[in-house]
Amino acid sequence: MSFKVLSSTVAAAVDKELMSTVGFSIDQLMELAGLSVAQAVYKTYPPSTHNKVLVICGPGNNGGDGLVASRHLKLFGYTPTVYYPKHKSSNVLFNNLLTQLKTFKIDVLQNELSNSELKSLINENDQIIDAIFGFSFHPPLRSPFDTIIEHLKQVETSKPITCVDCPTGWDVDKGPNIADLVDAKYILNPSSLVSLTAPKPGSKFFKGNYHYLGGRFISKEMAQKWDIDIPNYPGVDQVVRLNI
């Protein structure tokens, strides 16, 4: 399957329409996105082989997708741990998501970790989910996320890493290795990518083995308006694997 890509500008416009004339709330879209990520992880790295999952969440909606995915992963039989160093404490939606994780007894680390603590946390988990920044990200990376990506770079060839919508550190439209990034130590090369709604232009540079598309919430009429390809989702799945 080869799918049309959606630029960051158009993706933002699509989200805006979904949450206005179409009638979705941000909570609903985040729930569907997080479920898509969890299903993709289950299909690729099941709990029988990769039970301990470190979910690294950023301060925005991409991070919210990661919080939702963590809850579903717990229900799927995993042991997730969430690292959430930048939290919008005044945001009701994110506070509710954190309350849900507490209810399900999922460990959430909200204080920034030292280099040694972060290294140990990464090493003690079987796989990592990068839910730091999505299509609204613009380089360069800033603290503490630059350091986080540096540490993930050290294990990217030995430990599965799944990125939500766009690998953190990439320009969503231009991909990796662009002048704005300056340093290759911030260019993550994950093994798995879950594009949401539609693949973004930067995904053309993805070299991992598993590329999924999630977002079973686009009507045929909306897809036609925005020139979005809708895949044939198998059964009740929220994700479909794309050809690399």
Predicted model pTM: 0.95
Confidence of residue 187 (pLDDT cuts 50, 70, 90): confident
How deeply is 49 buried, as exposed, middle or buried, from its count of CB atoms within 10 A (0-12, 13-18, 19+)? exposed
**pLDDT at position 207:** 92
Per the annotation, where are the binding residues?
Answer: 61-65, 130, 134-140, 165, 168
Average pLDDT across the chain, whole number:
92
pLDDT beyond 70 at 223:
yes
**Cα separation, 225 vs 120, whole angstroms:** 48
**pLDDT at position 89:** 78
Cα–Cα distances in angstroms (integers) from residue 175 to residues 35, 74, 207, 208, in the given order: 25, 32, 11, 14
Cis peptide before 231 (omega within 30 of 0): no
**pLDDT at position 83:** 98
pLDDT (mean) for 215-237: 93
**Cα separation, 118 vs 107, whole angstroms:** 15
Per the annotation, where are the binding residues for (6S)-NADPHX?
Answer: 61-65, 134-140, 165
Per the annotation, where are the binding residues for K(+)?
Answer: 62, 130, 168
How deeply is 169 buried, as exposed, middle or buried, from its count of CB atoms within 10 A (0-12, 13-18, 19+)? buried
Q: Are 158 and 34 in contact (CB under 8 A)?
A: no
Which residues lie across from 107 on neighbouring strands? 81
- Give the count of beta carbons closer than 10 Å to the beta carbon of residue 176: 19
**pLDDT at position 174:** 86
Q: Give percent of the chain above pLDDT 70.
A: 95
**For the segment 62-85, what is each residue's pLDDT rounded down to a tens digit?**
999 999 999 999 999 999 999 999
pLDDT (mean) for 38-52: 98
**Cα separation, 101 vs 236, whole angstroms:** 25
pLDDT beyond 70 at 7:
yes
Domains and CATH numbers, the chain: 8-242 (3.40.50.10260)
pLDDT (mean) for 175-192: 74
Is the pLDDT higher at 90 or at 47?
47
pLDDT (mean) for 18-37: 96
